[in-house]
Homo-oligomer: A and B are copies of this chain.
């Protein structure tokens, strides 16, 4: 993807800032690699911590000049918006409860926002952020990174083209086992905030990974939900949020589904798996082997479709870098969201029309994700009562 900028303001790479993602953070580093991989961004500023010393140390690690390192995201937004070569986009990689604040500050100043998921810790916050995004000219991109995998795009294209016929059943699951023991008591930073309702939101596994699973199913099938019935559990003694969730889904079309998210599924790391069954065929995809999509046309042998391989179409190929048999992975999928965002941002910067195929997740996906978590918690509290998403 050649970069051909002719605009004064735009000199090839999008100038990117980051909020969060200092030393010890996990997802910040992932965002930085994702931004860098296709050479579409240049990290030039950051507010890596609210403690000045920590933020500067992280900035130094990344080779940033001290005057572009902040300890207050509002100050960062204000100053960067005024700088001649200030940031054009910002990545927000803080814990969930600190998404709304910075996102609002940058959006109101016309700086494009790339935000980690889930959108916010609470539904009211999600609504506020949705409004802020609506009012802003800037773009809002949510990194539901799994939809960046090429074979997920292939799956979506096949469903959209009717290759599976009418969708009947959706099975999606995201099991992990990293919280099978009370890790949050040990000082482990990730476990600490992700099991704290005040920072993570009311959902535990539902918020952290269930939203990924839900979004993936939603993205591939395109089916709006009618209602869900959820049975949440906290198996680990003293845990304050769910660590396992069983959810039955009813889609408006009449299709049905099951969703399972778990952080106590001993033996699984990130075994996100999606299966969709239609009247004419079925597909199966697993995140731990993301370059493969199993496709079973009814009454014919199952086929192994591979990234960049035979019978794989443009929707997937435009997000692939290398030939089949050379695996691309999690970082490449994540980078695809960043690169699609770059396409859209550059179109804005240059006043051109964005590529119609760009399909990164946005604010409405984020709102729906938080509504999903909310509905799961509400349904489970009501003994798995069928509950609609409060959109």
Contact = CB atoms under 8 A, between A and B. Distances in A.
A63 B3 contact: yes
A253 to B, nearest CB: 11
A164 to B, nearest CB: 8
Contacts of A318: none
B3 A61 contact: yes
Residue of A30, A250, A323 with highest tally of chain B CB at under 10 A: A323
B177 A309 contact: no
Interface string A169-208: 1010100111011000000000000000000000000000
A352 B281 CA distance: 46
Contacts of A258: 246, 258, 260
B281 A267 contact: yes
Interface string A349-385: 0000000000000000000000000000000000110
A161 to B, nearest CB: 16
A33 B265 CA distance: 35
Given A13-B63, A327-B288, A310 B299 contact: yes
A266 B288 contact: no
Interface string A234-249: 0100000000101010
Given A248-B248, A267-B302, A322 B330 contact: yes
Interface in A272-326: 275, 277-284, 287-291, 294-306, 309-311, 321-326
A270 interface: yes
A37 interface: yes
A158 to B, nearest CB: 12
A347 interface: no
Contact of A301 (B181, B266, B306): B306
A177 B298 contact: yes
Contacts of A30: 321-322
A62 B26 CA distance: 30
Contact of A322 (B287, B297, B298, B331): B331
A282 B260 contact: no
Contacts of A284: 267
A63 B384 CA distance: 56
